[in-house]
Amino acid sequence: MTVDPTWDQYMAPALPVLLDGEVHRARDICTSAADLLGVSAEKRLETIPSGQQRYRNRANWALSYLYRAGAAERPVRGHYRITDAGRKLCADHPDGIKEKDLASLDGPVPNPPVVDPPDEPTELDPVEQVSLGVERLHSAVATDLLNRLHANEPVFFEQAVLDLIMAMGYGGAEGTASRTQLSNDGGIDGIVDQDALGLSRIYVQAKRFALDATIHRPTIQAFVGALHGNQANQGVFITTARFSSGARAYADSVPTRVVLIDGPRLASLMIRYSVGVQVNQTVHIVEVDEDFFE
């Protein structure tokens, strides 16, 4: 059985669940279809970016397409019942139903505007396709961000890091962030005061290394020493490079709270908190408001 069925592969097992002619809840249909497909318990726990379980999202899309094609009807919200067209579809395609097979039905709503659907099943449902597209765009932006950070002067990088920490809310309502003097920073590149009096401080070291470089344990040991020299109990080491496993293990082992942020995570946080990026386009995904038609 398919380990991770595509959304259109849920159409075939969804119809047999409805063959008794009774009205079934969408949730129950999704579960039964997943059982027939042999979807493991582990796979059922996987979610899409919205937080919904992936298998349930794909099964719901299958039900939606079956309804739009006239293979199933929806007498009440969230409930489905098979139609005569659905029984015929189930009988005509015992080995599986593809999106193009729905074109032969006279549904209550025109089929989606798909031209020459491919023979291979579509792996992702429409929402997943949008999410994947956004992930690809963010991946390209992340690479561009790191390249630009590496190409700029150290002062620019240090300020960008402090801007990010403030954008994440660590400066508080009245907190401040400041860079230390480059000639005598004592291993500390910036200080974030989380309150107006500076009673709670985060010490920052920002290192603009080559993107393929690796930071090892001695560098983190030196940072911890700088924290001790400032009687600090927490610090953040941010870089465009990566950390070795030894460096991460050391940071986890010391009493001082040390957070390591490598290049990929730095770029991800900059995108998340809109530092160095701007929104190019906003996409609104809509669905029918069932309450409106109740």
- Read off the pLDDT of residues 158-174 as tens digits, 9 standing for 90 and up: 999 999 999 998 876 66
For the cut 70, the answer to whether the pLDDT of residue 123 exceeds it is no
Tokens 């990566």: give the residue.
242
**What six digits make up the tokens of 100?**
């193009």
* Residues present in the chain in total: 294
Amino acid at site 92 = D
pLDDT of 286 reads 79
| Token digits of residue 107 | 């549904």
Total-model pTM? 0.63
Average per-residue pLDDT in the chain? 83
Give the separation between CA 173 and CA 99, rounded to whole angstroms.
53
Residue 82 β-bridge partners: 72
What does DSSP say about strands 214-215 and 242-243: parallel, antiparallel, or unpaired?
parallel
User: What is the C-alpha to C-alpha distance for residues 98 and 33, in angstroms, rounded to an integer?
Assistant: 16
Q: Which of 47-51, 54-58, 86-90 has the lowest mean pLDDT?
A: 47-51
pLDDT at 216: 96
Is the model's pLDDT at 221 over the cut of 50? yes
Of residues 280, 143, 124, the one with CA closest to residue 211: 143
Q: Look at residue 120 and tell me whether its pLDDT is greater than 70.
A: no
In this structure, are residues 96 and 105 in contact, taking their beta carbons and an 8 Å threshold? Answer: no
pLDDT greater than 90 at residue 236: yes
Question: Which domains does the chain carry?
Answer: 7-123 (1.10.10.10), 136-272 (3.40.1350.10)
The predicted model gives 240-252 an average pLDDT of: 96
Split at pLDDT 50, 70, 90, the class of 176 is confident
The whole-angstrom separation of Cα 205 and Cα 190 is 7
- Which residues make beta-bridge pairs with 234? 257
Q: 118 versus 157: which is more confidently predicted?
A: 157
- By the 8 A CB rule, do 164 and 275 touch? yes
User: Cβ(171)–Cβ(196) under 8 Å?
Assistant: no
The gap from C-alpha 212 to its chain's centroid, in whole angstroms, comes to: 25
| Interatomic CA distance for residues 86 and 284, integer angstroms | 32
**Gyration radius from the chain CA atoms:** 27
Question: Do residues 70 and 105 make contact, with C-beta atoms less than 8 angstroms apart?
Answer: yes
Mean pLDDT of 30-46: 91
Whether residue 16 has pLDDT greater than 90: no
* Rounded Cα gap, residues 166 and 250, in angstroms: 27
Question: Which residues sit opposite 190 in a β-bridge?
Answer: 179, 204
Q: How do beta strands 190-193 and 257-261 pair?
A: unpaired
Model confidence pLDDT, tens digit, residues 187-199: 788 888 877 766 7
User: H-helix or E-strand containing 130?
Assistant: helix 126-151
